[in-house]
Amino acid sequence: MSDPDAILPDRITVLTCLGCGAMGREARCEGDCSEHKLLLVDAGEFDALQSAAQLARQRNEAFKPIALALLDSHPSEQACTDAYRAMRAVAHKALEATEPYDDRGDWQAPPAQTGWWCAQCGNVDAPQPCIGVCVWRQTEWVNLTLYQAGLDRAAEDFRAAPEIGRILDRLVAVTPHAGRCQDNWRALQAQARAALEGPQLRPVGTQPASSTKVSKRRTTHRT
Ligand SMILES: [Zn+2]
Ligand SMILES: [Zn+2]
């Protein structure tokens, strides 16, 4: 019996073999379990994505107004040195106040495992040919769609935060030569414009995360 309307779990703890990747416990439905295909990725990878996404968003929120202020201001050469110094102080403060994060660039989902989830008993089955040394552990997994939705939400922050961050680093590190302050300022403006306008990484054709959160976490014992 397979209910096509069953809401797949976002996060699930499954008895998993560390060796062969098999999943499933012995306690399950009396009769046939329902089978819903689940693509699962390591919950630890998802948590790392979420925490990096949060820090990237904080950085972006702190950096963006500075890039905008840089674009809005057009000081004369006489006023430029002071304006540059003031902008540098603001950039320095923003860099100090925000935490760096695991900017690995590529946050594509790790390889997914396919399991068959039962809506009645909550078991996930993924038989594998046994390699003879099965080591079973309760393992947390998340639905691949949840990972993808998190990645889609974070994509713009992952792109913009390091780009704008590099401009602020430059602003802090470089002291313009006398008479060249405006040139420097305009160069930074061009970089800021490019970083702010950057490609919109809105995902196309991806599903938003399921609006109904279903927690199917269970404690299972194989003994
Ligand atoms: Zn079942
Ligand atoms: Zn095994």
Q: How far apart are CA 14 and CA 24, in angstroms?
A: 7
Phi-psi region of 122 (alpha: psi -120 to 50; beta: other; left: phi over 0): left
22, two tokens? 């098999």
Ligand nearest to the CA of 130: 2
Ligand nearest to the CA of 119: 1
Ligand nearest to the CA of 131: 2
From the first residue on, what is the mean pLDDT of each consecutive set of 10 residues in the chain (223 residues)?
77 92 88 94 96 95 96 95 96 94 85 94 89 88 97 94 95 92 96 86 43 40 44
Task: Please classify residue 143 by burial: count the beta carbons closer than 10 Å to its beta carbon, then call 0-12 exposed, 13-18 middle and 19+ buried.
Answer: buried
Å from CA of 210 to ligand 2 middle: 32
Ligand nearest to the CA of 1: 1
Give the pLDDT of residue 2. 55
Give the pLDDT of residue 28. 86
Crossing angle for the helix pair 43-72 and 181-197, to the nearest 10 degrees: 140
Give the pLDDT of residue 200. 54
Ligand nearest to the CA of 132: 2
Å from CA of 59 to ligand 1 middle: 45
Q: How many CA atoms lie within 13 A of 89 on its CB side?
A: 5
Give the pLDDT of residue 3. 65
Give the pLDDT of residue 222. 45
Q: How far apart are CA 90 and CA 211, in angstroms?
A: 39
Residue 50 DSSP SS3: helix
192, two tokens? 């800021």
CA distances to 17, 58, 85, 206, 215 from 210, in Å:
28, 25, 48, 12, 12
Ligand nearest to the CA of 17: 2
111, two tokens? 């390889």
Å from CA of 127 to ligand 2 middle: 9
Å from CA of 132 to ligand 2 middle: 7
Give the pLDDT of residue 34. 92
Write down the pTM of the prediction.
Answer: 0.79
